[in-house]
Amino acid sequence: MSVYLDHAATSPPRREVLEAAWPYLTGAFGNPSSVHSAGRAARAGLEAAREQAAAVLGARPGEVVLTGGGTEADNLAVLGIARAVAATTGRRGVVVSAVEHSAVLEAAAALAAEGFDVTTLRVDAAGTVDLDHLASLLARGETALCAVMHANNEVGTVQPIPEVAALCRAAGAVLHVDAVQSAGHLRVGFGVDGWEGVGSVAVSGHKLGGLRGAGLLAVRGAVPLAPTTHGGGQERGRRSGTVDVASAVATATALSLADAERPVQTPRLTALRDQLLAGLLAAVPGARATGHPSSRLPGHVSLVLPGVAGHVVLEGLDDAGVQCSSGSACSAESEDASHVLLAMGLGHDEARTALRLSLGRSTSEADVGRALAVLPGAVAAAVGH
């Protein structure tokens, strides 16, 4: 049985989630827009899921837009909010942190091609956004939208969202927060202290034990949003297309379960993370942790190794029955150095030695022990490749 330590890439779907979704793939299979009883049954499930997700996120149900995943939620926020704000206010400035996921960065690049003025917010060596730089970017008064993720997928750093939100609010800029990695592990949403100035929050189902290709965007009622898909006007005109009710139910169930279990799982994963990191640093001379030492995701270990390519170590680990990542699985198969590590000041060569081990609900102490037992050998074997 192999040890799965790649929960930041995806986490296994939970049985309770599949059971909650099953009725909407079978008996209650109707189109939620249909008026007959099969449609009404699907609609009831969809609206219950929306309410369940909204309750976790401190949002009103009408503020939750169900999407086909985290990427789509980020795209809808970045493109939809920037375009709508520009249309009503004339503001065409967009600020994105240097460590955002490509779902945000590429959407911002699309806005730049439309003539928006897109600027990159600097981060420090721990991957934390530079608040003075943000203040200076916002001082220009032209910013329609700012995107700062809650927790980074590659290095685990958790951003100071309350401080970012306060600056954005004072500057009249909408703040979008990608909470794909943090939802379920940390408190996220409009009800969190200091998040009053947050305009939208993206969540993805499959990082939480839900299903891939399903997610949501919570967007405050007062924030203008131009749709990015056009069609039948579902989701109150914000996201046309027949909603996948089963997947929406899966996302909401997974989010709600993870949130309820957070008080137990977060300290447990934090302890396992610290044990794993300490063991790895002790076993691999020259290895160095990346990301913020304390303001970081509970189950996230990221490090750079002494002169060995991360992807080679990862292959050795896989052969030894431990699955992890050399960076971000979602950002493609390429061996390019990560934009996150480069933004944090690492050189290309060092950035290519990155390794990420991410823990989740199913991770046990024995899994951590197994990773610690095999990693030094995998690193030693990778030297010289």
CB count in 10 Å sphere of residue 360:
24
69 CB burial (10 A radius; 0-12, 13-18, 19+): buried
Complex with ligand PLP: residue 209 or 316, whichever CB lies closer:
209
Complex with ligand PLP: residue 71 or 302, whichever CB lies closer:
71
- Answer whether 173's CB lies under 8 Å from 48's CB: no
Complex with ligand PLP: residue 42 or 99, whichever CB lies closer:
99
What string marks each residue from 72 to 91 as x (binds ligand PLP by CB under 6 A) or -? Answer: --x-----------------
Does position 11 interact with ligand PLP (CB under 6 A)? The reply is: no
Secondary structure class of 240 (helix, strand, coil):
coil
Secondary structure class of 328 (helix, strand, coil):
coil
Stretch that binds ligand PLP, among 16-24, 70-78, 159-167, 288-296 (CB under 6 A): 70-78
Complex with ligand PLP: residue 119 or 159, whichever CB lies closer:
159
What's the CA gap between 153 and 332, in Å, rounded? 13
Does position 330 interact with ligand PLP (CB under 6 A)? The reply is: yes
What residues are labeled active site? 330
What's the CA gap between 201 and 175, in Å, rounded? 9
Does position 158 interact with ligand PLP (CB under 6 A)? The reply is: no
What's the CA gap between 44 and 239, in Å, rounded? 19
Q: Which long-range contacts (CB under 8 A, 24 or more apart) does 224-231 make?
A: 224/81, 224/84, 224/85, 224/87, 224/88, 225/65, 225/76, 225/77, 225/80, 225/81, 225/84, 225/200, 226/79, 226/80, 226/81, 226/83, 226/84, 226/87, 227/76, 227/80, 228/75, 228/76, 228/79, 228/80
69, 80, 93, 227: which one binds ligand PLP (CB under 6 A): 69
Query: How far apart are CB 102 and ligand PLP at their closest, in Å?
Result: 8
Query: How far apart are CB 372 and ligand PLP at their closest, in Å?
Result: 25
119, 204, 247, 325: which one binds ligand PLP (CB under 6 A): 204
Residues 110-129 that bind ligand PLP (CB under 6 A): none
- Answer whether 10's CB lies under 8 Å from 211's CB: no
What string marks each residue from 206 to 225 as x (binds ligand PLP by CB under 6 A) or -? Answer: x--------x----------
Complex with ligand PLP: residue 156 or 279, whichever CB lies closer:
156
- Identify the CA nearest to 6 among candidates 285, 250, 328: 328
Does position 149 interact with ligand PLP (CB under 6 A)? The reply is: yes
28, 49, 53, 71: which one binds ligand PLP (CB under 6 A): 71
Residue indicated by tokens 């991410």 = 358
Does position 302 interact with ligand PLP (CB under 6 A)? The reply is: no
Does position 103 interact with ligand PLP (CB under 6 A)? The reply is: yes
Tokens of 177: 């927060």
Binding site for ligand PLP (CB under 6 A): 69-71, 74, 101, 103, 149, 153, 178, 180-181, 204, 206, 215, 330
